[in-house]
Amino acid sequence: MKDRTWLGKCAALTALFLAASASHVGAQDRSVPTRRAGSTPVFGYAVGDQVISKANPPSTNSQVMSSPFLYLEGAFGGRWQIDGYGSGSSAVSVNQITIQHNETIALDFEGFGPMLKTSGSSSGLQTMDWNIAVEVYSSGGGVLPGSTGGLVVPTFLNTSFTPGSPLYTPGVTGGVLYLHVKRQAIVHAAHEPGQYENQGSITLYRY
């Protein structure tokens, strides 16, 4: 069963410790009861008598319940301000996301593609190409499946990250997954003034 969580949510970590103990009851010496007139003794001790007593052994029940937790830190947004005339590639913008978890998780990338012009002049190029690189690391620095190994076209991510693959278990990530995201806009002289935008979504699944 999987739980769908939008990035930005976090679940708190709670631990419940339960302990129960039983006290030990042992034999206690009793004095010889005082005999009342006309009464019949029920029991009595004499020197040299041995008293054997049995008591239930103590028992302790210790339990620890680990609740699921998910912590997210960082941001995926990227924005460039381009001033002046020219063509070429912008400087690479870098983001890092840190995910702490104790469940198996997966990432789903959807809607990534060319940037579309949303405001500005109606002439010139109405789309802008860009590239993206995604590198996934464990807490020990090991490269994990899903890493692109360099800049790729953004549509590549729509099929390389799905709800079912790759899956990241806490045993593999060490409980911490680092996601490095790099973007590079490709600007030409025909990109007249205006804003270009692509709104992709990243959904985190917990299993």
Q: What is the CATH number of the domain that holds 143?
A: 2.60.40
The boundaries of the domain holding residue 106 are 3-12+70-206
Name the 3-class secondary structure at 38.
coil
Examine residue 171 and state whether it is found in any structural domain, yes or no.
yes
Examine residue 105 and state whether it is found in any structural domain, yes or no.
yes
Residues 146-169: pLDDT tens digits?
999 999 999 999 999 999 999 999
Examine residue 46 and state whether it is found in any structural domain, yes or no.
no
Task: Supply the pTM of this predicted model.
Answer: 0.67
Query: Is the separation of the CB atoms in 199 and 110 below 8 Å?
Result: no
Examine residue 40 and state whether it is found in any structural domain, yes or no.
no
Examine residue 29 and state whether it is found in any structural domain, yes or no.
no
Is the pLDDT at 124 greater than 70, yes or no? yes
Query: Is the separation of the CB atoms in 154 and 113 below 8 Å?
Result: yes
Examine residue 62 and state whether it is found in any structural domain, yes or no.
no
Q: Span 128-147, mean pLDDT?
A: 94
Two structure tokens written together for 108: 């789903």
138, containing H or E segment = strand 130-138
Residues 33-89: pLDDT tens digits?
455 555 555 555 555 655 555 566 677 788 888 889 899 998 777 777 776 655 566
Residue that wins the pLDDT comparison between 79 and 177: 177
- What phi and psi values does residue 8 have, to the nearest 5 degrees? 115, -25
Examine residue 138 and state whether it is found in any structural domain, yes or no.
yes
How many domains does the structure of the chain reveal? 1
pLDDT score recorded for residue 166: 97
Cα separations in angstroms, 153 against 91, 108, 114, 132, 199 = 16, 16, 9, 6, 15
d(CA 84, CA 126): 18
Examine residue 88 and state whether it is found in any structural domain, yes or no.
yes
pLDDT score recorded for residue 25: 38
